[in-house]
């Protein structure tokens, strides 16, 4: 009998082109084949430049796809991009796509959107594939049982030229999430709790596999939210075993297999689950029954607490480095230890990003605000993750709910998730944001970010202070029903 | 294309007493709009450099080439610009107790040594560099050794990266030596796997 293997080990093994070997005292890495390479305007120009300089073609344009997402505006998209440096980058991508024969979904195209929303939506992200992109949140695609990770620009060039990457095997960590989520608690709260537990460096060197009852109960959208933020736990990749929910999501998508191919694919996909008796290098367990809506108070995603709690006192940290980090964070955030989270007022609510701007996220938020009024001084921006999400939302009438509420209804892009397009926070402005990073200056110079789930974002827009749906009297509210 | 070989480097050490220095701090996002691969020296730690007390604004640290920093350096986004900014500023090595995975891998590709040591060693080197501003740090890849004043400690770096740095080898060139194996692999790749072309679109 063969040795029991984990999901990650199976996918890895199926992609080894050249196995690493001991050469003297050097262990060479494995050369891995890459099934899908996604590029965007920010991390690709220098890679294409490198190809041109060395006279190399793109080896597999048919395994490559480009989108414009990071620095594009989310309004007036039919006008020329106003900001010259952004325009230059987008133009460079368009020129490169044309020169090297790569499929590109540009601003205004019905398939345009954030790279990690577009891949799954087109059915290009499939179980058992290797997926890379010059973007750390490529981990999102692991929700399908793909081995997906972010790469740097030199690696982008490497994949363009060779369709492979030399990689040293990861270690594996099981994240068991048992139990059932309470009403109003979502997958965003699971991953924030995981990060608070293992720390922002806890996953370094590992592929995380999320498993257990609470994970199996989640929709694909909710699973993507979890895998997306694996990088915030320090891990380059996160994975979830493909199951009926995965197959259901994929069936009928533009690039999903059809007919006999579909049956063959499903059979292969089923074989990918971690074998009974396989061992992980590390393992942690989280009890979903005990989770509550989670929100960050500091400037890294590990600095979070339950929304019902207060900001911790810096003195309460045992580790002096953690205490210093807390002090620095609180100074930047203009907050004090001991303040109840629910008393913190925000200026802006941002519902968007590759973490939480899929159709289900928009539905959940819309359900919370429907029939309610927005807090007067709060600005709310809703930025669908892709044009398809936007179109779907409009078909369902969600856009009306947002607009009636007084929210800004935008076109697709990374938007306020990072300060490199027109959607930015002003210095000192405070946001409840469904994105993934609360780093200093991430959403604009001097901007202050609290990471939250879509339903917390929506409830916060109603009350004006960090809030959960239960603060609005919603008690039987179930998040992410399948 | 090949890189400059790095075997050993000696230069002024810069004690950066910060942990969790993510790539957004190393280089803020708006610098990512450039489409060149060099000239990022002005972007390094740009937000912090507006503070005149920031270490790189002080002599003799401003001409430093070895950055000695707290744990979890280079976490966050995949931007290789973080490495380019350090490289363009003149840094040849970064010493920390823990690095972000993607940062570490990017560093190795640009000839920047990411040397991992215990935090207790970082503390010792910090003290030395603060007590003797301008003190030099030697990073000896051959022997995996860091030396600074009377401190001498071994550092960790994976064998393969070390070898490539010492040989100045370009990754793509190395991989293309296996072009035949890639051709073979592609022949056996199952036909059910997706391709992006011909493009199929969502039904609207
Ligand atoms: S939405 Fe944010 S995290 Fe996601 S790809 Fe865009 S910038 Fe990166």
User: Whole-angstrom Cα distance, residue B141 to residue A297?
Assistant: 41
Nearest CB to A42; choose among B32, B83, B98: B32
Q: What is residue A391's DSSP assignment?
A: H
Spell out the alpha helix ranges (H) of A125-257: 153-162, 187-198, 213-216, 220-228, 244-250
Of the candidates A441, A404, A438, A443, the one whose C-alpha atom is nearest the C-alpha of residue A421 is A443
- Ligand 1: residue of A40, A42, A69 to mutate (most ligand atoms within 8 A of CB) is A69
A436 lines ligand 1 (CB under 6 A): yes
Please, what is the angle between helix A45-54 and helix A153-162, to 10°?
50
The tokens 């400059």 sit on which residue?
B4
- Assigned token pair, A333: 């955030």
| Cβ atoms of residues B22 and A438 within 8 Å | no
What is the DSSP track for A83-142?
Answer: SHHHHHHHHHHHHHHHHHT-EEE-TTSTT-B-HHHHHHHTT-S-TT-EEEESSGGGGGGG
- Bridge-based pairing of strands B136-140 and B8-16 is antiparallel
> What CA–CA distances, in Å, run from A52 to A45, A161, B176?
11, 11, 16
Of the candidates A391, A336, A333, the one whose C-alpha atom is nearest the C-alpha of residue A362 is A391
The tokens 């910060």 sit on which residue?
B18
Burial class (CB in 10 A: 0-12, 13-18, 19+), A374: buried
What is residue B4's three-state secondary structure? coil
User: Whole-angstrom Cα distance, residue B189 to residue B192?
Assistant: 9
- Are B35 and A121 inside 8 Å of each other by CB? no
- If one counts every other C-beta atom within 10 angstroms of the C-beta of residue A407, the result is 23
What is the DSSP track for A19-63?
Answer: ---EETTEEPPEEEE-SEEEEETTTSHHHHHHHHHHTPPPS-GGG
Q: What are the strands, taking DSSP E only, across A216-303?
A: 237-239, 282-287, 294-296
- Predicted confidence at residue A480, as pLDDT, reads 47
- Are B163 and A26 inside 8 Å of each other by CB? yes
Residues 6+ apart with CB under 8 A from A349: A378, A379, A380, A381, A407, A431, A432, A433, A457, A458, A460, A461
B101 pLDDT exceeds 80? yes
Burial class (CB in 10 A: 0-12, 13-18, 19+), A364: buried
Residues 6+ apart with CB under 8 A from B165: B3, B5, B6, B108, B111, B113, B141
- Assigned token pair, A68: 């414009």
Spell out the alpha helix ranges (H) of chain B: 23-26, 46-49, 81-89, 101-109, 119-131, 159-167, 171-176, 179-188
pLDDT 10s digits, B127-156: 999 999 999 999 999 999 999 999 999 999
| Cβ atoms of residues A30 and A18 within 8 Å | yes
66-125 in chain B: CB under 8 A from chain A: 70-72, 75-81, 83, 98-102, 105-106, 109-110
Contact with chain B for residue A388, Cβ under 8 A:
yes
What is the DSSP track for B55-72?
Answer: GGGSTTGGG--EEEE-SS
Ligand 1, atom 6: closest residue by C-alpha: A414
122-141 in chain B: CB under 8 A from chain A: none
Length of chain B: 204
- Are A25 and B159 inside 8 Å of each other by CB? yes
pLDDT in tens, chain A (482 residues): 689 999 999 999 999 999 999 888 788 999 999 999 999 999 999 999 999 988 899 999 999 999 999 999 999 998 888 889 899 999 999 999 999 999 999 999 999 999 999 999 999 999 999 999 999 999 999 999 999 999 999 999 999 999 999 999 999 999 999 999 998 899 999 999 999 999 998 999 999 999 999 999 999 999 999 999 999 999 999 999 999 999 999 999 999 999 999 999 999 999 999 999 999 999 999 999 999 999 999 999 999 999 999 999 999 999 888 999 999 999 999 999 999 999 999 999 999 999 999 999 999 999 999 999 999 999 999 999 999 999 999 999 999 999 999 999 999 999 999 988 999 999 999 999 999 999 999 999 999 999 999 999 999 999 999 999 999 999 766 554 43
The residues with which B73 forms a beta bridge, in sequence order, are B99
Percent of chain B's residues with pLDDT above 70:
99
By C-alpha distance, the chain A residue nearest B191 is A261
- Predicted confidence at residue B43, as pLDDT, reads 96
- Predicted confidence at residue B1, as pLDDT, reads 47
User: Whole-angstrom Cα distance, residue A230 to residue A207?
Assistant: 9
- Bridge-based pairing of strands B136-140 and B145-148 is antiparallel
Residues 6+ apart with CB under 8 A from A259: none
What is the DSSP track for A433-472?
Answer: ESSS---TTTTSTT-EEEE--HHHHHHHHHHSBS--GGGG
pLDDT 10s digits, B30-56: 898 888 888 999 999 999 999 999 999
Contact with chain A for residue B192, Cβ under 8 A:
yes
In total, the C-beta contacts within 8 angstroms joining chain A to chain B are: 214
User: Whole-angstrom Cα distance, residue A406 to residue B19?
Assistant: 41
Burial class (CB in 10 A: 0-12, 13-18, 19+), B51: exposed
């Amino acid at each position: 009998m063969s040795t029991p293997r984990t999901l990650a080990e199976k996918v890895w093994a199926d992609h080894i082109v050249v196995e690493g070997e001991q050469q003297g005292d050097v262990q060479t890495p494995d050369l891995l084949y890459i099934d899908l390479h996604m590029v965007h305007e920010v991390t690709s120009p220098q890679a294409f430049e490198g190809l041109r300089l060395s006279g190399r073609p793109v080896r597999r344009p048919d395994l490559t796809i480009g989108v414009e997402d990071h620095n594009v505006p989310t309004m007036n998209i039919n006008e020329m991009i106003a900001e010259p440096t952004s325009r230059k980058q987008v133009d460079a991508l368009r020129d490169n796509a044309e020169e090297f024969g790569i499929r590109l979904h540009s601003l205004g195209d019905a398939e345009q959107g954030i790279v990690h929303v577009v891949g799954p939506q087109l059915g290009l992200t499939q179980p058992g594939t290797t997926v890379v992109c010059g973007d750390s949140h490529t981990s999102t695609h692991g929700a399908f049982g793909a081995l997906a990770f972010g790469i740097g620009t030199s690696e982008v060039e490497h994949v363009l030229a060779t369709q492979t990457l030399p990689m040293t095997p990861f270690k594996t960590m099981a994240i068991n999430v048992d139990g059932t989520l309470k009403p109003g608690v979502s997958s965003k709260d699971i991953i924030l709790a995981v990060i608070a537990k293992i720390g922002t460096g806890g996953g370094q060197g590992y592929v995380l596999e999320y498993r257990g009852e609470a994970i199996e109960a989640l929709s694909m959208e909710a699973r993507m939210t979890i895998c997306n933020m694996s990088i915030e736990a320090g891990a380059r990749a996160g994975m979830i075993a493909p199951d009926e929910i995965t197959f259901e999501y994929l069936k009928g998508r533009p690039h999903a297999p059809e007919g006999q191919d579909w049956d063959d694919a499903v059979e292969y996909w089923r074989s990918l689950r971690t074998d009974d008796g396989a061992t992980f290098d590390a393992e942690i367990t989280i009890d979903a029954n005990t989770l509550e809506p989670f929100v960050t108070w500091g400037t890294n995603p590990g600095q979070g607490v339950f929304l019902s709690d207060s900001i911790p006192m810096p003195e309460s940290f045992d580790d002096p480095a953690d205490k210093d980090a807390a002090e620095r964070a609180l100074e930047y955030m203009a907050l004090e230890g001991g303040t109840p989270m629910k008393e913190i007022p925000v200026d802006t609510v941002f519902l968007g990003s590759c973490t939480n701007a899929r159709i289900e996220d928009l539905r959940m938020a819309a359900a919370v605000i429907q029939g309610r009024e927005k807090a007067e001084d709060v600005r709310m921006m809703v930025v669908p993750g892709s044009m398809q999400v936007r179109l779907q939302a409009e078909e369902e009438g969600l856009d009306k709910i947002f607009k009636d509420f007084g929210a800004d209804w935008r076109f697709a892009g990374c938007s306020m998730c990072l300060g490199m397009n027109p959607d930015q926070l002003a210095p000192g402005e405070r946001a409840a944001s469904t994105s993934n990073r609360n780093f200093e200056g991430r959403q604009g110079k001097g901007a202050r970010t609290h990471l939250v789930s879509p339903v917390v974002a929506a409830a916060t827009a109603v009350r004006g202070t960090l809030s959960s749906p239960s603060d609005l009297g919603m008690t039987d509210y179930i998040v992410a029903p399948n | 294309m090949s890189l400059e070989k790095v075997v050993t480097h000696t230069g002024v050490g810069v004690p950066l007493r910060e942990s969790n220095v993510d790539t957004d701090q190393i280089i803020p996002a708006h610098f990512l709009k450039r489409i060149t691969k060099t000239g990022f020296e002005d972007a390094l730690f740009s937000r912090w450099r507006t503070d005149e007390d920031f270490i790189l604004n002080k002599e003799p640290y401003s001409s430093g080439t070895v950055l000695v920093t707290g744990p979890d350096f280079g976490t966050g986004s995949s931007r290789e610009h973080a490495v380019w900014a350090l490289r363009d500023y003149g840094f040849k090595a970064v010493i920390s107790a823990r690095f972000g995975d993607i940062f570490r891998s990017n560093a190795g590709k640009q000839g920047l040594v990411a040397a991992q040591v215990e935090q207790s060693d970082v503390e010792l080197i910090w003290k030395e560099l603060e007590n003797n501003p301008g003190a030099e740090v030697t990073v000896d890849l051959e022997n995996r050794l860091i030396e600074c004043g009377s401190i001498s400690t071994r550092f960790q770096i994976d064998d393969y990266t070390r070898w490539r740095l010492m040989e100045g080898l370009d990754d793509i060139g190395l991989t293309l030596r296996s072009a035949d194996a890639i051709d073979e692999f592609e022949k056996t790749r199952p036909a059910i796997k997706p391709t992006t072309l011909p493009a199929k679109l969502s039904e609207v």
